Amino acid sequence: MLRSLVFKRAQSSLIVNPLEVANAHIIRESSSRFAKPAVVSFDGFGTLWIPRTPVPEQYQKVASSLGVDLDTATIESRFKSAYSDLQKQYPIYGKGQLKSSDAWWKLLVNQVFQLKDEKKADELSTALIQHFLNDDAYKLYDDVIPCLDALHEAGVPLVLSSNTDPNVYTLLHNLGLEKYFGDNVFISYELGVAKPDRRFFTHVAKTKYGAGKSFNYDFLENCWHVGDSFEVDFVGSVKSGWNGVLLDRHRTSEFFVAKDNIKVAQDGCFMSPTGEQDNPDMLVVANNRIVIGGLDQIPPLFGIQE
């Protein structure tokens, strides 16, 4: 019932935003771990994988191998500007406007390097697109495989929910993540809508609930989404009726920074008898809002051992 009320509030508006640290209360309603999830959804970039070296450096290295010279500072500046402008002009990587997402990336590369030689520009953009499809460009965080293994072996349905394009399928294969998610990959390019839009999360939930079935919103009580973006992943999922887990690896979010000032509303299994949490890498700030410092905190949340 509580979660149903939370979702109904989310469908209208939050009069008082409980997602702000100023309104946060460390809380736990019972002394047990959370029930086995109906689904655990993960963001991709920044949550499961990161670039091996800064993207501008990788751009510079690939370009240099093709005889194109441009310093990393200029690449970084132009990249940020081009990415922002193109997302406004052609949202969701050009979905419905451009021939493909690769065409969107080629526009970006052209704006970054500004080559007059069209053949060289096409060669460079193709090389960069291919480069970022494999583990030469990206690496997994150390806690990813142990976390996914534990959840998978416990029979927890896993989902990838990412604001990205179809190239992610090749990347998932090359990073060794394909076996964990299978067909349960939901990307903004294919859905035509991006996180934090409620329609993204609702589509994922309804798909996992079962096609052709009348959706029961109580199903969301055991749906969890994990991501590193406060607005896109954490706020987006909670306002969509899900349980939101903010991954704050560097502990720089306001929740970790201000944790000593967050009021403890009720003692529980994540807190010591003194009213302070006994786990420095996890904050349970409400019954459906959790902040963690690493993915190793996910399995124990459901009583699963890695």
| pLDDT for residue 2 is more than 60 | no
Pair 128, 165 in one domain: no
Same domain membership, residue 248 and residue 118: no
Distance CA 142, CA 145 (A): 7
60 exposed, middle or buried (CB, 10 Å; 0-12, 13-18, 19+)? buried
Split at pLDDT 50, 70, 90, the class of 239 is very high
| Section 261-285 average pLDDT | 55
Domain of 99: which CATH number?
1.10.150.720
Q: Are both 70 and 189 inside the same structural domain?
A: no
Q: Which of 220, 243, 157, 229 is nearest to 194 (CA)?
A: 229
Judgement on whether residues 127 and 257 belong to the same structural domain of the protein: no
For residue 105, give its domain range.
Answer: 53-133
Is 232 in the same domain as 297? yes
Highest-scoring range by mean pLDDT, 145-149, 211-215, 251-255: 145-149
Residue 276 pLDDT class (50, 70, 90 cuts): very low
pLDDT at position 21 is 52
Residue 181 and residue 230 in one domain: yes
- 70-79, 150-159, 255-264, 271-280: which has the minimum mean pLDDT? 271-280
Check pLDDT > 60 for residue 138: yes
Question: Quick check: is 170 in a domain?
Answer: yes
pLDDT tens-digit readout, 78-87:
999 999 999 9
- Pair (191, 234) in one structural domain: yes
Least confident of 56-60, 156-160, 251-255: 251-255
Both 117 and 210 in one domain: the answer is: no
Whole-number mean pLDDT of the chain? 86
201 with 124, same domain?
no
Residues 178 and 120 in one domain: no
* pTM, two decimal places: 0.85
The CA distance from 254 to 37, in Å, is 27
* Number of folded domains that form the chain: 2
The residue-averaged pLDDT of 162-179 equals 97
Per-residue model confidence (pLDDT) at position 102: 98
User: Is 50 exceeded by the pLDDT of residue 268?
Assistant: no
pLDDT number for residue 258 = 75
Q: Which of 28-42, 109-123, 196-210, 245-259 has the lowest mean pLDDT?
A: 28-42
Residue 232's pLDDT is 97
Q: Once rounded to an integer, what is the mean pLDDT over residues 112-117? A: 97
Q: In terms of pLDDT, which residue wins out, 223 or 262?
A: 223
The model's confidence at residue 261, banded by pLDDT at 50, 70 and 90, is low
Q: What is the pLDDT of residues 60-75, one digit of tens each?
A: 999 999 999 999 999 9
Q: Considering the domain boundaries, does residue 10 fall inside one?
A: no
pLDDT for res 274: 35
With respect to residue 294, please indicate whether it lies within any of the assigned structural domains.
Answer: yes
Q: Is pLDDT above 50 for 25?
A: no
Residues 43 and 154 in one domain: yes
